[in-house]
Structure 1
Amino acid sequence: MTTSPPFASPVAWSDAGQHTDIWSDLCQTLLPPYINTCRWFAGKARQQTGLQMRAVMPLLIDAESGKVAYLTILTVSYADGNPESYLLPLSFVSDRATKERTFGVADVPDKGRIGEVQLAGKAGLLIDAIYDERFRNALFNAIYDNQTMAMPEGQIRFQRGQGLDEGDRSLPSRVLPVDSSNSAMTFGDKYFMKLYRKLFRETNPEVDMVAFLTDVGQFTHIPAFGGSFVWERDGIADVTLGMVQRMVPNDKDSWGQTGDYLNDFLYAVPQRLFTIREDVFEKAELLGRRTGEMHNALYNPTASADFAPEPFTDEYRTFIINRFESLLEQRYTLLIDRYTELDPLAQRLAWVFMEAREMIEAFINDFRTRPLGSLRTRIHGDYHLGQVLATDTDFVIIDFEGEPESSITDRKIKHSPLKDVAGMIRSYHYAVSAKLFNSAETEDLDPAYLQRVSDRWFHLIRDTYLDAYFDTFGSPHPLFRNNNEINFLLLIYLLEKAVYELGYEISYRPSWVKIPLKGIIDVVTEIEKIRLSDGVTLSPDIPMLQKGLLR
């Protein structure tokens, strides 16, 4: 229990929604110190200048007694940068309720307790409402019933999805004891509800994607869409507040599973044996098929504008090129600043990368003008082995929120599905490289030998994955005009992904810098092959790749 003095107001909790002064007072007293203890609050490291209550929306949680909780939206202002909005549901637990054991303080963990309050002479505790089972059930049942609730501003629309079964209206619930950027609750150990804490002025891409894949694409290898709830206001973009999905039994994600499979390979390397179990190929092949099926489900020429396929427009090309050029400039600067901190192999790779700058820039410029007949669709956007759960016999793809560092608008931009494919290929490269270069079993081995061995494993698994992926589409397919465009676009996205990865490794894991650098050099090697076969497109004045620096 907090040691701060009780917060007092003559207003009863059930009437608080109509009194702005109580919310203003809470924003000055109990709420700021509380949200700064919460894992989901991203502004802890920034200088905060104010907390305001943007909206207060009542939710009836007990029809018999008339008890309510409030979905409140807080706006946090900062000395620098834009303000942020957060969802904080609030409930009141009276001392009387605690004594009667209907629902009491003992049921609320410390991290859910905001502070002592006294409202209309009634003492109790203000809590985060996710720890009030009545609140959780009210949300879930509203989704089950497809309710729409009028609010002081706009309305909350609860939408039920095909993944929520009949007869599951009221289920026991609990809060998952994990700290993350959102809050997670389960219902009947059958459904998973994610409450989005940091809010954006448009619908969440994850909800859009999961709903489309389940209800339109009929793609079964994701946790099925059970429903969502959205704050709607006339003339203003809708705000997604939460989503329900089916729970999926799983052993681990595919990163962990791939790491387990790599152990056998790792133990054989010091004996100069090259061994890959057949089921490793089978898993890579299966994941390639599931990835292709996901992209097939997202390809829908008759879909609404949000999901209909589009061509490679000048606007899109400019967006990619501007992002790419900014990344390159940042990464070259970082490499120069941190060069002396790198190990010898990473230094040699860095030199080749820096010497290849003109070739990379010419390749990017080629993307600006090259005719492309392939199409773009919505994609996963942050696709890697950690986003795929491994069940006993199959895979389930999760987490469709998109690239964490991108804006919500940018996460909804349509790309070639090959951007997802590039992400998975890079993930496989990370898996084998991290295992071989960071294990005690191989620390005394020649880095050049480890590089050759890891390359062989990676190329075999990559090709297995790609062959299975393209087999799911058939040929020709509108998403991919021809093999030349496939190769060209895959190189664009592989290069962008590896350059993106490089920034993180330089800043936080210098010993891993060689992994994205090797990925970059592999791509530039393929670019050089294009140069040699397409001298009209790439200038003959650009120097050849200086791979001799790697010796």
Structure 2
Amino acid sequence: MLDELLAAWIGRQRWFGGKGRAIDQLSVESDVELTPGLRHLIVAVWQEGSRDRYQLLLGERSSLPDRLGHALIGMVGDTYLYDAVHDFERTGWLLEGMAHDQTHNGLRLRHVPGVTIDTSPRSLVLGAEQSNTSLVFGDAYICKLFRRLIPGVNPELEIVTALAARDAPHIAQPYGWIETDLDGTDTTLAIMQEFLCNANDGWDLALASVRDLYASLPEVTAADAGGDFAAESLRLGAATARVHHELAAAFPTDVIETHEVKRMAESFRRRLGRAVAEVPELRGHVSVIEEAYHQVDLLTHEVPVQRVHGDYHLGQVMRTPTDWVVLDFEGEPGQPLAERRALYSPLRDVAGMLRSFDYAARHLLAGHSQAAELEPRAQEWADRNREAFLEGYGEGGGMITRGDAALLRAFELSKAVYEVVYEARNRPTWIRIPLAAFTPRAAP
């Protein structure tokens, strides 16, 4: 009965990764009672011959308050079953368990050594996420539950705890985590960090700046507009370089030799070939992209590699009253855990942020009646903030040599190729944003 209820319910959840495909089978692999009326489940979902696992906090009540009606899964007998992440009367177990290093039948709740966890705040679920669920406890903590489970230690937990142990700046303090064994591997279920209650999202700040520029008189430049963002881009570049420095100090580093660099360029070309076959609009830009990849072929020096963020953009940074903080070190969603933990050139992160500036500049132009007239202003804003970010990156200790510039350009264009395919599939009216990346730019 429970399996049937969950199979009917789980496909409607925004964090469920198998939407649009029939569920062939669902089974409960783990069912642990945490407190009376609260169970932790790990469920296996089979679709088209493959299995994914998800975690669920299952609440049980004899009557269901109106505030939990949206979380209802169904009834078994006279008992209401519901998604208990939405029930602040049940989620206190997260704080209690981590504060006291509790273990429940293989489910291990732990706190970071040296920290104290206040167990009194109530929880509230944030509604913006797609693949995870985050609970905010008062103005102190944010606990991210990884709904889809992948065996292994999550890179975010690994990175933030290592950087916090070094008193590294520009990260949110970690407080605790939840783990279990999955397929014989220590697996992260959740991580709790400092909640930056007085911070602003980098993407929102950038868009506000772009709006100010678009609303100003035509003769007003991006430097003179009221919401100029360049000073923040400069600070963000410096913060990014410092995070890269701390990552290189906390984890192993290496170099890749020239033949491996050429293999990387070949992987970029393979992606381009697949993209051109799918999106005809790319064909007119192939020569520009191929020339960028050819410059990587000409490199004759080794390339340093290290742990990086892996999915770096304006939505992954927060501006506190004092500085920038970098969040979400999970890596690129959907990629295998080993790939997300692999060593890369830090220029991959730099390229990701540069692409994000281009998106911020043109995001508001999709469907805009004056898009053609505003395009030069968008380009001006993007160029100004890209340059400021790169200047800040250098001031923070991140060096970009002439050879690095060629590699950075290739990373950027490879990312833009990926974006073209994504937009063609999901938001066709946005395809002009990544296509603009193939206009030749001056080297940084």
| Inter-partner Cα distance in structure 1 for 2:38 and 2:366 | 53
Instruction: Quote the Cα distance in structure 2 between the aligned partners of 1:178 and 1:351.
Output: 36
Of 116, 126, 143 in structure 1, the residue corresponding to residue 75 of structure 2 is 116
In structure 2, the residue corresponding to 1:52 is in which secondary structure? Answer: strand
Deviations 1:248-272 (A, max 9, x none): 1246422221222223322346x34
What residue is the counterpart of 2:301 in the other structure?
A: 371
Task: Give the conservation status (yes or no) of the 8 Å contact 2:133–2:147.
Answer: yes
Q: Which residue of 2 aligns with 1:205?
A: 155
The answer to whether the 8 A contact 1:311-1:376 is kept is: yes
Identity of aligned residues (%): 29
Matched with 1:492 is: 410
Show the counterpart of 1:7.
Answer: none
The yes-or-no answer on 1:159 pairing with 2:110 is yes
Distance 2:181 2:293 in 1: 44
Counterpart-to-counterpart distance in 1, 2:263 and 2:47? 29
Q: What are the superposed Cα offsets for residues 389-424 of structure 1, whole Å, 9 maximum, x if unpaired? A: 233453222222221242222211211111111111
Alignment partner, residue 73 of structure 1: 42
Structure 2: gaps of 5 or more residues: none
Q: Check conservation: 2:222, 2:384, Cα contact below 8 A.
A: no
CA deviation after TM superposition for structure 1 residue 50, in Å: 0.7
1:328 partnered with 2:252? no
Counterparts in 2 of 1:124 and 1:156: CA distance versus 1, 3 Å: closer
Residue 355 of structure 1: CA displacement? Answer: 3.5
- Quick one: structure 1 residues 320 and 254, their matched pair in 2 at CA, closer, same or farther if it must change by over 3 Å? same
**1:68, 1:439 → 2: CA distance?**
51
Residue in 2 that maps onto 1:196: 146
**Do 1:266 and 1:435's aligned partners in 2 also have CA atoms closer than 8 Å?**
no
Q: For the structure 1 residues 56 and 331, does the alpha-carbon distance in structure 2 shift closer, same or farther, using more than 3 Å as the test?
A: same
* Alignment match, 1:282: 231
Equivalent position amino acid for 1:175 in 2: V
Does the C-alpha gap of structure 1 residues 174 and 502 become closer, same or farther in structure 2, counting only changes over 3 Å?
closer
Matched residue SS, 1:83: strand
CA 1:461–1:133: 2 relative to 1, 3 Å = closer
CA contact (8 A) 2:262 2:296 kept: no
* Equivalence for 1:22: none
**2:81 partner amino acid:** L
Q: State which structure, 1 or 2, has the greater radius of gyration over its C-alpha atoms.
A: 1
Q: Over aligned residue pairs, what C-alpha RMSD do you find?
A: 3.0
Other-structure match for 1:127: 82
Give the TM-score taking structure 1 as reference length: 0.72
Instruction: Determine the C-alpha separation between the residues in 1 that align with 2:383 and 2:17.
Output: 39
Structure 1 gaps of 5+ residues are: 1-24, 62-66, 96-103, 340-349, 475-479, 528-551
Q: Match of 1:201, SS?
A: coil
CA apart distance, 1:33? 0.9
1:136-190 deviation digits (Å, cap 9, x = unpaired): 22222111122344x2xxx233221269535x13433343455632222222331
User: Is the 2:296–2:407 contact (alpha carbons within 8 Å) kept by the matching residues of 1?
Assistant: no
> For residues 264 and 78 of structure 1, what CA distance do their matches in structure 2 show?
47
1:246 partnered with 2:194: yes
The answer as to 2:30 corresponding to 1:55 is yes
Is residue 458 from structure 1 mapped to residue 402 from structure 2 by the alignment? no
Q: What is the total number of aligned residue pairs between the two structures?
A: 442
- Measured at CA, do residues 51 and 215 of structure 1 come closer, stay the same or move farther in structure 2, by a change above 3 Å? same
SS at match of 1:139: helix
Q: TM-score, normalised by structure 2?
A: 0.88
The worse-fitting range, judged by mean Cα deviation, of 48-57 and 106-115 is 106-115
Q: Is 1:138 aligned with 2:87?
A: no
Task: Tell me the equivalent position of 2:213.
Answer: 265
CA distance in 1, matches of 2:258, 2:100: 45
Deviation at 1:430, TM superposition (A): 2.1
